Amino acid sequence: MTDPPAMPPVLLHIGYHKTGSRWLRFLFFGNPQTGFGWVDKTGPEHPVRRLVGARPLEFDADQSRLEFEPLVRRLVDEGLSPVVSFERFSGNPFSGGYDSKEIADRLVQVFPGARVLVIVREQRSMIVSTYKQYVREGGALPPSKFIRPPTSRSMRVPWFDLRHFEYHRLLAYYRSLFGPESVLALTYEQFVADPRAFVAELASFAGQPLDDAPPLASPVFWRLGKQIDRMSLAPRRIVVAEEKKLRQTVAKNVGDMYVESNRRTAELTGIDLGEYGWMV
């Protein structure tokens, strides 16, 4: 049996959801002038989607690696730094991220030498945005029942789970799989506050430091990015008058449950989360 072809090093961007992933993929990772190339995941049978969707007893890491290798190699041959980006890698918030560990285990088997980018967001803001997405996709539960779904001793169906946003757990696991030096965590709030510094840090981490390329110097580039991000978050059935009530409901249900997790996340990332309005 011959050894599988060596996988060129990649940057794995695993999410989370609602942290500007669309902006990163289409304006940054998908822009050759930044030096990056995104492995597009178009189509239901794309290897990226199969890596997530394959049933646990059917997933074949060697086969997945063989499918990814030419996609990654093509980008390398074009002189680009390959990126595999899919926020679903961090789990689906609507089902509490129940399979996030399974996916992490698959990723390290397929991309053992990868660097991992994780972007997190202050939990109350994250939950509000997640609920808006739920409504936009046809969800009918009111906020209180969405946040605190019914429990079942049989555990037949995974529901939304507030613990999905205890970020330190997944961060620590990825660090154990890939090595602490190969995992970078940034916050969505850093992106909002200073997008140039944000992308400069992630590019340096990925081994592709940025120069003063025209797209990054153009104000149009950043305005378009903000427009795309707003479009991805804009609610359709939640009017402005209901926004305050939604945020109050989230805050009441969350309380201070994330304080300890945020303390651990701050230790893992070296980021002063309190500076960005997190509960600490």
* pLDDT, tens only, 8-27: 899 999 999 999 998 899 88
Q: Is residue 97 part of a domain?
A: yes
Would you tell me the crossing angle of helices 123-136 and 240-254 to the nearest 10 degrees? 130
* pLDDT, tens only, 55-112: 999 999 999 999 999 999 999 999 999 999 999 999 999 999 999 999 999 999 999 9
The token pair at 130 is: 């997640």
The confidence score (pLDDT) of residue 5 equals 57
Q: Is residue 208 part of a domain?
A: yes
The confidence score (pLDDT) of residue 26 equals 86
Q: Is residue 133 part of a domain?
A: no
The token pair at 111 is: 């991309």
* pLDDT, tens only, 224-268: 555 545 544 444 455 666 888 999 999 999 999 999 999 999 999
Which of 19, 17, 39 lies closest to 95, judged by CA? 17
Q: Domain span at residue 68?
A: 11-122+162-235+260-276
Kindly report the pTM of this predicted structure. Answer: 0.90
Cβ atoms within 10 Å of 72's Cβ, excluding its own: 21
The confidence score (pLDDT) of residue 157 equals 80
Tell me the residue length of the chain: 280
Mean pLDDT of 34-55: 91
The confidence score (pLDDT) of residue 161 equals 95
Q: Is residue 69 part of a domain?
A: yes
- DSSP letters, 181-225, are GGEEEEEHHHHHH-HHHHHHHHHHHTT------HHHH-HHHHHHH
Q: Is residue 137 part of a domain?
A: no
* pLDDT, tens only, 147-171: 998 877 766 788 999 999 999 999 9
Q: In the sheet that 11-13 helps form, which strands lie side by side, from edge to edge?
A: 36-38, 81-85, 11-13, 115-120, 183-187
Q: Please name the residue that has the structure tokens 């002038």.
A: 33
On whether the CB atoms of residues 120 and 183 are closer than 8 A, the answer is no
On whether the CB atoms of residues 29 and 13 are closer than 8 A, the answer is yes
Which of 247, 48, 23, 267 lies closest to 167, judged by CA? 267
Q: Is residue 131 part of a domain?
A: no
Look at the chain and report how many structural domains it folds into: 1
State the CATH number of the domain containing residue 88. 3.40.50.300
The token pair at 237 is: 């059935």
The confidence score (pLDDT) of residue 43 equals 75
The confidence score (pLDDT) of residue 233 equals 47
* pLDDT, tens only, 173-189: 999 999 999 999 999 99
The confidence score (pLDDT) of residue 119 equals 98
Q: Is residue 130 part of a domain?
A: no
CA distance linking residue 15 with residue 121, whole number of Å = 10
The confidence score (pLDDT) of residue 239 equals 60
Q: Vertex 167, ends 158 and 39: CA angle to 5°? A: 80
Asked whether the CA dihedral 244, 96, 60, 4 is positive or negative, the reply is positive
The confidence score (pLDDT) of residue 141 equals 92
Q: Is residue 139 part of a domain?
A: no
